[in-house]
Structure 1
């Protein structure tokens, strides 16, 4: 008995010891080959070799413990790929290496940061969840980001700007574009000075590196890069709305540098604020270049437009690159245009620049004929099937869509033969800023849009009243062979969209013709009944609205990087494995169903343009077909509920949103009202039973 008890005791102690060790090592995940945290000496040596994604943690931190298995899984899954990309994951235990963490300005755990041979580069985005996909995608994208390579030898080309100099530039004395950053500092002479301590500005040190790289990139393009100390130039910073950089009013609030652009050749309207959510070198470059371009709105010819539209589609872009260019062209007649007509361009600089990869131009070329040639070329592309009857351009539809007078706006997109013409019937429309920006915004997406965790909801919720369906082309760029096949699928996908557009044109024209017929019959009936002339004329003047809906939003998703997104969006049952070339179609209006099979019940694929075109047509225009044979699949999980609620509210328009607002206000105020009623009742009850001296109230 004693031996048995002793044996059981030893087993218990051994298990306790193993469990304790496992718990102690739960963050670093020490097992076979998972690396130990780096110490200070190892850190400097390792960082000098290549790019690293580094986690600074404390073994006593609850969030760090929760991240531990995720971090270990990311290290294991990305290890081989990381070797090829020259980037790896590393950890620092801030209890064991406190001096190192202090040196690297670690103030919270866990802190995930990107380092290169020349030191700290940037933080892992705070807005992103920390999971396997986001960690590995961050490493993958940063490994391919050219801005992260060999920046240590760069010296900042930014020049310190005094307040009077800034005001001179603002007065219209700039000879070229000036990109200016504003800092919560008093004596920042050069923006690469790492000895400066910024108070309540966690982003300042990473932004120093960004600004150094940016200044070296843009200086060769006639940009002047400047910086200004807001603690020295308080009045200017406050006038610009940067009061938070002049002094600390809330010690809990974090601060960040601000950036503005001053464009040349303008004495007014020459200042533009950077208002983007991202703060990478690429984002600031794009802001500076396109805003400067759009402020000039250079003249463009039909030949140049043709080249811009026909640029080939690039699937494997650098991280963050836009999906395709958009060109908005102000077309005017030199002999009849007046200066007031050009004023609208000044107001469009900012909204157009806020659209990714959108450019503003002027032109005196015959854009109407150019648009007509594009329209006809679309029909040349969609006559791909010799077994089908030849498809001819619907000239009546084009004429209806092209009714306008000059000046007006045209919109062209890379890879698209579908022109878009603003209906400027009079001076009133051409000087209506809201009307023009609405026209631009409703068609401000490229022909093809990449689906990512960041863009999915934005695209799904983008104007469902116009874009009834979102078609998703699944691609795979993991190998050269898969990439080549993906490009073929994308081309068929694009042709199917043009083919669908021809059917949509016919449908819209038939709808207009039916409304015209109904109107004519009503006028004839009124005449037969000898109705009053005024009533007949009023009926004849009834406007026939041209429907703008039944559009399809074209997207693609790379299975090699974001295959998990389909399950998260409720589009992938547990037993479904998607493959390169397959196509999904999501109902944007209801956000509750999607389609994965064609009318024959086969998996929908883009091996040819026909199946996708046919499926889209049957979904959008069921009355044109004998029966609805398209099977719809329910979107699974909480996403379906969320999207259905959003859709239900949207369907009721303004009234729906007012009702929701009223319910929110009601929900907030009801508890307060109930408390007041309860307190009043208690007060009356006390007044009814006792007087000021606590005696029972006398009865009459």
Structure 2
């Protein structure tokens, strides 16, 4: 923290031009210190003394937690980082003192024995220690002041001291014995690719390159669930079955749920950049343990007025969390016990693998009256969309969306009342694992994405519209969430209206065909079956995303800020991934805003899906032109071919002009007829 220099009030008044008395100015000037002493008055904050083998443990014992940098004075990266380390301590030493946090360094040239003891392999290395001198975490984040402070604030209140290690190392033979057993409690299996054998998890840290933080997380997992560690490379068959697909050097985590053997374990999709690994893994384990029981919610009336299906509960009054991460979609397997066969229920066991690859999901089965559920769902939709202008509930459209045979699957999004159903029209369709699995993966999406963190998921779909809102806090996303659910409803209505139009066209064609003297129903069928109606077109998916105002610089990487515009909170950009264009306004608006123009955003989306006539103003992505040169986008969008065509046209025009001039000049002299100039005979 920088300390302000104390300056007399009269000096401040003089500097502001508020004092006109010469005598006061002289008095102040006499009291004013020399420029050198101003620098001397600034409180110098010295870095703590470097740790050595002598004082290492005693210094760490005196602090709640300590961040230690291991460096070499000959390391170029260390030299480059040194000013950041010093400024971090200078600006935050009061916080470190109040929180009893240590901020130390170890010179690995002067204290080589200590660095060797701590097994430091690279410089600089950063480790977070407990007051017992136990490594809690390795810091591998950005080497910036705010990142270091954020890391310490996040970890200052965590449990410190030596973690209790309840893990058990299994030999291959012990693992094979457990593979045949069915346990009554959930068990976690961690598979190592290492070739050495270990007796304790701390021994694992010392002999391998594994991240200390990850190993400590395993210790914490062992405190909650029975945890076993197996070396994959001791047995080739085990190695082949449990090696990770991405990287042979990774740890792999498997969960065995109660009532099943090891051979039907579920793999956790490890994200090594997950700062909340323990929380994410624990949540996933709870999710899988619950789903594997196939809980039956029949007769529980979960869709009543007091349940989470309350029509007015979809969008919260306030949003203080990240909706791109914290969402929970619910899948319900509806079946009729009298008409459902054992083969229909076998799909559930296979779907466990699909659910194990997903986060934020619940699964239930129910034999409740499906018609009653649909009636409740219809009431929910009516309650949520009655405020949309010029729209009314279309019962026929609802029937088209909900018609199915049982058993079937229904997905309930906690923030959208729009019905999402796996429409099953035959016994083979609900038994098709790949089709059902693909439907689950496709529907288990957040209603809104974080563009900065999840842009690859948005950009990978070439047939989509991305609605990107600039925000300053999560609560500002509520209008976007409302537009998202409204748009789903409006597009479904449009699809049904188009269906009605096509039905009428077919009906009129049939009546006209019947009046023909050569009427033959077979000819009519052959004629119409080959016709492709617009109803069959694939509408572009609409994906909603947000971007914090201080992150908008990333837009230039995607060619979305060709005007160097300064985007503000609530500004909206609509990107058409199927074309080269994006939209940030309409001809009547300077900018899109979720506060000032929500209906224009919805209408633009419908227009881009050819579902409504509405004027749009396209901007070419990655265009080098702006302002008055915007018309050049019509050429630039064709790339090299466009410019080559213009060059050819210009060259042809120049050559044609020269040819015309040459032709004109050849006919501009006197005309003498066939005998040429008669004077030549004189």
Relative to the length of structure 1, the TM-score reads: 0.69
Asked if residue 556 in structure 1 is aligned to residue 543 in structure 2, the reply is no
Residue in 1 that maps onto 2:295: 298
**1:505 is matched with which residue: 451, 474, 492?**
492
Question: Secondary structure of the equivalent of 1:102?
Answer: helix
Question: Secondary structure of the equivalent of 2:292?
Answer: helix
Asked if residue 122 in structure 1 is aligned to residue 137 in structure 2, the reply is yes
Q: In 2, are the aligned partners of 1:470 and 1:554 still within 8 Å (CA)? A: yes
Cα deviation code 1:81-139 (max 9, x no counterpart): 989998787654433443333333222234444545453333455xx8x465xx84576
Q: In 2, are the aligned partners of 1:353 and 1:359 still within 8 Å (CA)? A: no
Q: 1:82 to 1:440 in 2, by over 3 A?
A: farther
Q: Offset at 1:272? A: 1.8
Cα deviation code 1:347-368 (max 9, x no counterpart): 2212222122122221122455
Q: Offset at 1:424? A: 1.0
Q: Offset at 1:417? A: 0.9
Residue in 2 that maps onto 1:240: 241
Distance in 2 (alpha carbons) for counterparts of 1:395 and 1:358: 30
Distance in 2 (alpha carbons) for counterparts of 1:321 and 1:504: 23
Distance in 2 (alpha carbons) for counterparts of 1:375 and 1:258: 45
Residue in 2 that maps onto 1:98: 112
Residue in 2 that maps onto 1:670: none
Q: 1:627 to 1:476 in 2, by over 3 A?
A: closer
Cα deviation code 1:321-373 (max 9, x no counterpart): 92300112211111111111112122221222212212222112245543554
Residue in 2 that maps onto 1:181: 190
Distance in 2 (alpha carbons) for counterparts of 1:77 and 1:577: 30
Asked if residue 456 in structure 1 is aligned to residue 466 in structure 2, the reply is no
Asked if residue 595 in structure 1 is aligned to residue 583 in structure 2, the reply is yes
Distance in 1 (alpha carbons) for counterparts of 2:581 and 2:621: 4
Structure 1: unaligned runs, 5 residues or longer: 1-30, 245-252, 478-485, 638-646, 649-700
Q: In 1, are the aligned partners of 2:45 and 2:90 still within 8 Å (CA)? A: no
Q: Which protein is bigger by CA-based radius of gyration?
A: 2
Distance in 2 (alpha carbons) for counterparts of 1:594 and 1:73: 42
Q: In 1, are the aligned partners of 2:48 and 2:103 still within 8 Å (CA)? A: no
Residue in 1 that maps onto 2:667: none
**2:51 is matched with which residue: 39, 50, 62?**
39
Question: Secondary structure of the equivalent of 2:228?
Answer: strand
Distance in 2 (alpha carbons) for counterparts of 1:229 and 1:182: 6
How many residue pairs match? The answer is 565
Distance in 2 (alpha carbons) for counterparts of 1:66 and 1:308: 54
Q: Offset at 1:198? A: 5.2
Q: 1:321 to 1:576 in 2, by over 3 A?
A: closer
Asked if residue 377 in structure 1 is aligned to residue 380 in structure 2, the reply is yes
Q: 1:83 to 1:397 in 2, by over 3 A?
A: farther
Distance in 1 (alpha carbons) for counterparts of 2:181 and 2:523: 58
Q: How does 1:457-606 map to 2 (within 5 A)?
A: 457-461=456-460, 463-465=461-463, 468-477=464-473, 486-487=474-475, 489-521=476-508, 523=510, 528=516, 530=518, 533-538=521-526, 549-559=539-549, 562=551, 564-566=553-555, 568-571=557-560, 576-590=565-579, 592-597=580-585, 600-606=588-594
Q: Offset at 1:426? A: 0.5
Question: Secondary structure of the equivalent of 2:286?
Answer: helix
Instruction: Note the aligned Cα RMSD (angstroms).
Output: 4.2
Distance in 2 (alpha carbons) for counterparts of 1:342 and 1:101: 59
**2:280 is matched with which residue: 272, 278, 283?**
283
Q: 1:54 to 1:624 in 2, by over 3 A?
A: same
Distance in 2 (alpha carbons) for counterparts of 1:168 and 1:214: 23
Residue in 1 that maps onto 2:447: 447
Distance in 1 (alpha carbons) for counterparts of 2:592 and 2:101: 38
Residue in 2 that maps onto 1:158: 167
Question: Secondary structure of the equivalent of 2:179?
Answer: helix
Cα deviation code 1:568-591 (max 9, x no counterpart): 55545796444443333333333x
Asked if residue 207 in structure 1 is aligned to residue 214 in structure 2, the reply is yes
Q: In 2, are the aligned partners of 1:324 and 1:448 still within 8 Å (CA)? A: no
Q: Offset at 1:188? A: 3.8
Distance in 2 (alpha carbons) for counterparts of 1:226 and 1:197: 16
Q: How does 1:311-330 map to 2 (within 5 A)?
A: 315-317=319-321, 322-330=325-333
Q: 1:269 to 1:363 in 2, by over 3 A?
A: farther
Cα deviation code 1:446-485 (max 9, x no counterpart): 2233333x31222332x342xx3222333334xxxxxxxx
Cα deviation code 1:17-51 (max 9, x no counterpart): xxxxxxxxxxxxxx975847843367653686355
Asked if residue 614 in structure 1 is aligned to residue 626 in structure 2, the reply is no
Distance in 2 (alpha carbons) for counterparts of 1:600 and 1:86: 59
Q: In 2, are the aligned partners of 1:51 and 1:117 still within 8 Å (CA)? A: yes
Q: How does 1:339-378 map to 2 (within 5 A)?
A: 339-367=342-370, 369-371=372-374, 373-378=376-381
Q: Which moved more, 1:424-433 or 1:165-174?
A: 165-174
Relative to the length of structure 2, the TM-score reads: 0.70
Question: Secondary structure of the equivalent of 2:417?
Answer: coil
